[in-house]
Amino acid sequence: MVDISFQDYRDSHKGPSKVKEYDPQFWISGTTNHLFWEIERILLKEIIDKMDPYPKRALDFACGTGRVLSFLEKHIEETHGVDISSDMLRVARSRCKSSSLLEGDLTTNPALLDKRFDLVTAFRFFLNAQPTLRKSALEAIALRLKKDGLLVANFHLNPLSLTGGYLRFRYLLKGTKRRAMLTLNEAKAILEDSGFEPVEVRGYGYLFHRRKYVRFIRLRAPLEKVLSRTNPLPSLAMNFLIAAKPK
Ligand SMILES: C[S@@+](CC[C@H](N)C(=O)[O-])C[C@H]1O[C@@H](n2cnc3c(N)ncnc32)[C@H](O)[C@@H]1O
């Protein structure tokens, strides 16, 4: 499957222009990424609510501008975020009022954090990170996760989804820029190879999404929400949340 990665993903979100390009897409009503972010909040809350005991301390790995962290801090007593990019963290600091935020790289400096967490989230990280970084990030997360803790990892472009299939067709036809993609099995294998056991998979983004804005949103947004809650065939959805436990 197509898997194009940055030379070193650690450098991918440095610089103010990257932040400007990245952050707004999740907050503009009517866009595909805004819809997916709405769905992610619903699914993430469902996963958290099922945890027994309910998590008290969470870490958002590669928290970026604090999108996911700002949600976690509404539901979890103690929340932390870590990211390598000072530019992304500047926005996270203004968005996340009760979380502790750390700038640094747990993969090269494990001493950065000494706490253990009930829950670790990592959104929009593994798909584009190069394989060596994926592996060292999972090792760093495993070190910080409690024995009965949970990792919730997000993967955001499946080549077997309608949208992924369309993009692959376009590469062939027009030679357009290739984007990283991972199937559900590939995503699960990445976690398994690093000592995690997937315990739940939630798929979302079943319909075809070609544009920045969702077409026929009044019809398609509720349909996407119903599909994400019924979770009929996650291996064909565009995005996944995979909840995994350390083996
Ligand atoms: C696409 S952004 C995702 C941000 C956030 N998780 C979200 O979903 O909105 C990827 C983030 O990974 C961060 N990153 C890359 N390598 C990292 C590392 N080794 N440790 C921590 N963060 C890292 C980047 O700086 C960037 O903020």
- pLDDT tens readout for residues 20-32: 999 999 999 999 9
Answer yes or no: is 222 within a domain: yes
CA of 126 to the centre of ligand 1 (A): 9
Report which of 207, 193, 118, 200 is spatially closest to residue 154, judged by C-alpha positions. Answer: 200
Q: Could you list the residue range(s) of the whole structural domain that residue 177 is in?
A: 9-246
User: What are the φ and ψ backbone dihedral angles of 26, each rounded to 5 degrees?
Assistant: -85, -10
Which residue reads 């376009």 in tokens? 170
State which amino acid sits at residue 61: F
Report which of 180, 131, 162, 154 is spatially closest to residue 241, judged by C-alpha positions. Answer: 154
CA of 84 to the centre of ligand 1 (A): 7
Sheet holding 100-103, edge to edge: 100-103, 78-83, 57-61, 117-122, 145-155, 239-246, 196-204
- Mapped onto helix, strand or coil, the DSSP state of residue 96 is coil
Q: What does the block give as tokens for 157?
A: 């472009």
In this prediction, residue 7 carries a pLDDT of 86
CA of 21 to the centre of ligand 1 (A): 14
Q: How much of the chain exceeds pLDDT 70, in percent?
A: 98
Atom nearest to 108 CA in ligand 1:
19
Handedness of CA 41, 13, 24, 171 (dihedral sign): negative
Mean pLDDT, the chain, integer: 95
Q: What is the pTM of this model?
A: 0.96
User: What are the φ and ψ backbone dihedral angles of 2, each rounded to 5 degrees?
Assistant: -65, 130
Answer yes or no: is 148 within a domain: yes
Answer yes or no: is 4 within a domain: no
Residues 204/227, Cβ–Cβ less than 8 Å: yes
Residues 164/238, Cβ–Cβ less than 8 Å: yes
Answer yes or no: is 3 within a domain: no
Q: Helical H runs in the chain?
A: 16-22, 32-50, 67-75, 86-95, 131-144, 162-174, 184-193, 217-230
Residues 67/37, Cβ–Cβ less than 8 Å: yes
Q: What does the block give as tokens for 170?
A: 């376009």
Answer yes or no: is 33 within a domain: yes
- pLDDT tens readout for residues 190-224: 999 999 999 999 999 999 998 899 999 999 999 99
In this prediction, residue 153 carries a pLDDT of 98
Question: Looking at residue 108, which CATH number applies to its domain?
Answer: 3.40.50.150
Atom nearest to 122 CA in ligand 1:
6
In this prediction, residue 177 carries a pLDDT of 77
Answer yes or no: is 2 within a domain: no
- Cα end-to-end span (Å), the chain: 27
User: Other CB atoms closer than 10 Å to residue 49's CB: what's the count?
Assistant: 10
In this prediction, residue 225 carries a pLDDT of 97
CA distance 214 to 129: 27
- CA dist 209 → 54, 166, 213 (Å): 35, 9, 9
Answer yes or no: is 145 within a domain: yes
- pLDDT tens readout for residues 47-66: 999 999 999 999 999 999 99
CA distance 119 to 148: 9
CA of 147 to the centre of ligand 1 (A): 24
Report which of 66, 56, 172, 176 is spatially closest to residue 117, judged by C-alpha positions. Answer: 56
For the chain, the domain total comes to 1
Answer yes or no: is 202 within a domain: yes
The mean per-residue pLDDT over the stretch 97-125 comes to: 97
Residues with CB under 6 Å of ligand 1 are: 9-10, 12-13, 62-64, 67-68, 82-85, 88, 105-107, 123-125
CA of 8 to the centre of ligand 1 (A): 12
